[in-house]
Structure 1
Amino acid sequence: MSGGLPVTPVTPVIPGFHPDPSVCRVGDDYYLACSSFEYVPGVPLFHSRDLVHWTQIGNVLDRPDQLRLPVDSPSSAGVYAPTLRHHDGRFWLIVTVVGGGGNLIVTATDPAGPWSDPVPLPGVPGIDPDLAWDEDGTCWCTVAGVSQVRIDPATGETFGPPRRLWSGTPGAKAPEAPHLYRIGGYWYLLIAEGGTERGHGVSVARARTPEGPFEPCPANPVLSHRSTDDPVQNTGHADLVQAPDGSWWLVLLGVRPGGGTPGWHVLGRETFLAPVTWEDDWPVVGPLTSGERTPAAPFSDDFDDSALGHCWISPRHRSPEHCTTKERPGWLTLRAVGESLDAPDVVFVGRRQQDLSCRVRVGVDPARGRGGLAVRLDESHHYEIEADAGEVRVLARIGPLRTVLASLPRPDAGPLTLGVDITATEEPRDPRTGPDTLTFGIEEPDGAFTALGTLDGRYLSTEVAGGFTGRVIGMYAASGTVHFDRYDCTPVPDRYTSRTS
C-alpha cells in the first residue's frame, strides 16, 4: 500500500492498546483476540457482526490457574500474540506467555467463556504460535522464525522436531506472526516482517501442501506503510478472514503517531481493518477501512456491580484481598502493596486509553490511605495525581527521574474528584512538539476544574519508553486503603476521532 495522506484520517476498529489481532468467523459472528502483555486478565476477546463495530465479551485468561505472571516480570513481557480459531465445534486459542510458561492452548465452546485450563506445549519453541488443520485432521503449529511442527492440540504432544518453512523477504528482519490457511488450491503462509516499528509490513507465500515448499508473492510486502507519510504507521501482524458474502478482509495492527519529528504514538498498537481481493491467486490488500468517525460514547463505571467489567486490567496480578467492589457498596476499594507506581506489585486498576483526546474524572476517598489517578505506560514512565488526608500532589516518573510537579494542601480530608485532561496536538508548527499534553487537577463540586500541572505526553510514548504496550488510565493505592466511587471518561472529538468498544 503506497503512502499519501488520505482525505479523511483512518481510525481503528478497536482503538487503544489492542495489538496482534487474530480473528475467526463462525456463521455470521466474528471473534477477535489481542495480546495483553503484563496485564491481567489476559487476552481480551471481542465480538462483531460487521468487522467494524466490536464489543468486548470477556478475557480468555481470566483465572490465576490459567495465567500467573511473576511479580518481578518486566513490563512488555507476559502474553504475546494469540491465534484464535474455530475447529470441530470448539474455539481454540494458542498463545505465548513470556516469562510464565511458554506456549499453551486453551479451548471453549462459548467464546465468552469459561475457557479451559491451559494445555502446555513444551515441544513448541518460540513465540507467535499459529494453529491450522488439514483435511485429515492433522494439526500444524507454526511459530515466528518461521518454523512448523505437527502437534496434538488436545494433549500438547509434538511429533518430530520443528522444521524451517520460510524466512520471509531476504534482508527483512524479524519474520514473525505466521498464520497458515487453506484457500482454494493453495496453502497460504502470512507473516509480519521488518520489525514492529516503522518498517513493519505483511508478506505472504503459498504452497500446495502445509509443509511447503513455499513460493513468495512477487508483490511482497502486500501491506506496509514504511517510508510514507500515512498517518497510520507500523502496519503489520495481520490475520485473514472471509465474510459470509465471500469477501475477504484483513485485521492488523497499526499506530497513530502524533506531534512533530519523529512522531510519538501513545495509545499503543491498535486494531485496523483492510479489504482484500485476489489476483492470480495472490491476496491484494486495499486501503485501511475506518472505524466510526462519530464522537465516541462516554464511558462511566460507578462500581455498583459485584465484579469489575471486562475492560478493567491490572499489571501482573489482581487479588480480591487488595481489589474489591464488595467491601463498600458502590465503591472500588484498593489496598496498597507496592509503595508507588514505580513498584511492580503496585495495586492499580485501569482501562486502556482509547481516544487521543479525552477527560477522565475519578471520585476518591483517601482518608485511610494515599492514592489517586494515574496514566501508566510502565513502572518507569507514568504521571499521576494523588491525594491523602492532607495534600494533593501531581507526580511524574520519566525514566530515572521522579519529581513532584505541584502540591496543594487539603483543608478537608473528605472525598474529592481528581482528573486529567488529555489534549492531542492538532498541527504542530514546531517539529519538536510532543503528541499531546496531560493536565492534572481537581474538579470542584460545581464542575469547575482547577489545574495543578501540565505535562508533555511524549514521555509516556513507546518511542521514549520502548516496549509493546500503550497507555492505561486508572486508579491506584500507594499506602493504606483508598476508595473510589466512580470513573468517568469523556472523549473529546478531534481529527482522529475513535470510538470506545
Structure 2
Amino acid sequence: MASTPETDDTFGNPVIAGFHPDPSVCRVGEDYYLACSSFEYFPGVPLFHSRDLVHWTQIGNALERPSQLRLPPDSAASGGLYAPTLRHHDGRFWLIVTNVSGDGNLLFTATDAAGPWSDPVRLPGVRGIDPDLAWDDDGTCWCTVAGVSQVRIDPYTGETLGEPRRLWSGTPGAKAPEAPHLYHIGDYWYLLIAEGGTERCHGVSIARGRTPQGPFEACPANPILTHRGTDHPIQNTGHGDLVQGPDGSWWMVFLGVRPHGGSPGWHVLGRETFLAPVIWVDDWPVVGAVTPLMSAPPWPLQEPLVAPVREDFELGELAPGWISPRSRPEEHCTTKERAGWLSLRARGHSLDDPEVIFVGRRQQHPTCRARTLVDPAEGRGGLAVRLDEQHHYEIEAAPGEVRVIARIGPLRSVVATHPVSGGPVVLRIETAATRQVHDARQGPDTVHLGVQDTDGTFVELARLDGRYLSTEVAGGFTGRVIGVYASAGTVHFDWFDYEPGED
C-alpha cells in the first residue's frame, strides 16, 4: 500500500543522493514516479519508482537507444538533456525534455514508466528550455517553458497551435525564471517556477490564476522555498515539482546541494533530489522544513537510502545506474567478450578525450570507497573519479605498472607511479569528507588513490584535494561519477564495488 511521510521529521534528505537534479514527479494510483536531468550522459533521463516518496528505486532510463538520444562527440560537458517533466495523462506517461546539444525539445511516451519509451516527437515550434506539460479540462495541452512563455501543442504530432505568449516571469529583478510547472488545483491554476539562478540564490516561487493562460498573481510569501543567506547544510534549493499523496497530503521534490569545507563551500556530488512537506494556507502552498540526512530518521524501513553496490558483470546488460559520456557503443563496451567480465575497448586516448570509453556510477556519498579488479594485459585503463574532461582523477593500470593521473583545468600531471606484478590488480579510490573546518580555505574532501594488496592492505599512492572536482571550481551542472575506463587497447574488469562511509 502506498504511503507518505507523516511529518517533516520522519525522514532524512536527500531522498535520491548524488547527481540527480531537476526532479519531476507524478503519481499513478499508489505509485510515484520521478525523472531527473542527465546532461551529457547516456543513457538519458533516469527514472525512479517509490511507494512512499522517501525510498526510491531506479527502474530504468527513458532514453536508452541512439534513435532517442543524439549527443555528438563534440557536445560540451553539461550539455545534453535538461530538465525533464514527467506526467501521466490519458492512460500513458509523457516525458518532455530539452536536448541543448542539437535536437531541441523532445516528447516521449510510454505505457509503463519502466519502458520501453517511444522514439521522440520533435517540437520545433517550442522555443526555450525546461518544458512543462499540462492538460486543460477540455483536453488542450499547454507547453510552458523557461522565460516564462506558453503555447498550445498537439502532443501526438509536436505541432504548435497558435503563437507563444508571455506569462508571469517571477519576482521583478530576479534572474533566470525557469523550470515552470503548471497545475490545476482546486479553484486555481498555479504556475510554479525556479528563479535566482541554480547557485546559492536559487529558490522556488509561485503564482496563481483562474485559467491556464492567466493572468497570474504572485504569492505574497515568495519565494516559497529558498535557503539563500542561511547556514542551512542544504543549499541551492530550487527547481521544485508538486505531487499529492493518496491520503490528500502535498509534497514538493526539488534540487539542492550539500557543500563541504571552508569558504565558499564546495559541492562535489552535484545537485541532488530532496523532499519537503507542503500545506495550503489561503489557497497558497507553504513548504515545510527540509530535514537533512544527519537527523537519524525514525522511518519504519531502516535500510540505507543508498545501499552498497557490487557488480560482477555476470548479466548480459549493465544495470540502469551505469552511465557513459555521450554514447556507449556495444563494440566498445560489452560483458559478452569474456564471461563474467566487463570488457572496454579504447576509443579516446585518455579521460581528456570526449570520446573516451568510460562507464561509471554517480558518487552518492561525501565519504565512500570504490574498487575494481582490472586485467590490463591487453591495454591500459583503470578507475576514475570524473567531473568532466578537464577535471578528473584516476589510477591507471598497464602491464607491470600503475600510475595516478590528475587533470585540473589546463594542467595534467602524473602524480605517482608504482610497479605491480603481472596479472590483474585491485585499484581503489576513497573519498573522505571534511569533518571540521580549521581553515577557511580547507577543501570539501580528500581523494585517496592506490592499489589493494592480496591481503586487503591499501597502498596509498596519492592524496588529492577534492575541491578541484567540484562545480564551484569546474563550473557546469553535473556531479562526480566514479567508474572504469580504457585508454589503450582492451581492458577487462572482473568486478566493481562501491561502499558508503560515515560522514
CA distance in 2 between counterparts of 1:229 and 1:113 reads 41
CA distance in 2 between counterparts of 1:403 and 1:428 reads 28
- 1:246-285 aligned within 5 A: 246-285=248-287
Equivalent position SS for 2:473: helix
Contact 2:233 2:292 in 1 (8 A): no
- 1:352-431 aligned within 5 A: 352-410=362-420, 412-431=421-440
Contact 2:142 2:151 in 1 (8 A): yes
Q: Out of 488, 493, 499, which is 1:479 matched to?
A: 488
Sort the Cα spacing of 1:7 and 1:464 in 2 relative to 1 into closer, same or farther, 3 A: farther
| 1:229-251 C-alpha deviation (Å, 9 max, x unpaired) | 00000000000000000000000
Residue 442 (structure 2) aligns with: 433
> Offset at 1:427?
1.3
Which aligned segments of 4 or more residues in structure 1 are displaced greater than 4 angstroms?
6-10, 289-296
- 1:340-359 aligned within 5 A: 340-359=350-369
Identity among equivalent positions (%) equals 74
The answer to whether the aligner puts 1:84 opposite 2:79 as a matched pair is: no
CA distance in 2 between counterparts of 1:44 and 1:402 reads 32
> Offset at 1:434?
0.4
> Offset at 1:390?
2.4
CA distance in 2 between counterparts of 1:435 and 1:8 reads 28
| 1:191-241 C-alpha deviation (Å, 9 max, x unpaired) | 000000000000000000000000000000000000000000000000000
One-letter amino acid of the counterpart of residue 469, structure 1: T
Residue 178 (structure 2) aligns with: 176
One-letter amino acid of the counterpart of residue 22, structure 1: S
CA distance in 2 between counterparts of 1:327 and 1:108 reads 33
Equivalent position SS for 2:115: coil
- List gaps (5 residues or longer) in structure 2: 1-7
TM-score, with structure 1 as normaliser: 0.96
| 1:71-93 C-alpha deviation (Å, 9 max, x unpaired) | 00000000000000000000000
Residue 129 (structure 1) aligns with: 131
Residue 444 (structure 1) aligns with: 453
> Offset at 1:413?
2.0
> Offset at 1:11?
2.6
Residue 462 (structure 1) aligns with: 471
- List gaps (5 residues or longer) in structure 1: 1-5, 495-501
CA distance in 2 between counterparts of 1:33 and 1:162 reads 26
Equivalent position SS for 1:211: coil
Residue 308 (structure 1) aligns with: 318
Contact 1:94 1:131 in 2 (8 A): yes
> Offset at 1:391?
1.2
CA distance in 2 between counterparts of 1:466 and 1:349 reads 22
Q: Out of 108, 111, 118, which is 1:109 matched to?
A: 111
CA distance in 1 between counterparts of 2:458 and 2:291 reads 37
- 1:76-225 aligned within 5 A: 76-225=78-227
TM-score, with structure 2 as normaliser: 0.96
> Offset at 1:161?
1.7
Contact 1:275 1:289 in 2 (8 A): no
Equivalent position SS for 2:377: strand
CA RMSD of aligned residues (A): 1.4
> Offset at 1:421?
1.0
CA distance in 2 between counterparts of 1:138 and 1:130 reads 14
CA distance in 2 between counterparts of 1:335 and 1:8 reads 47
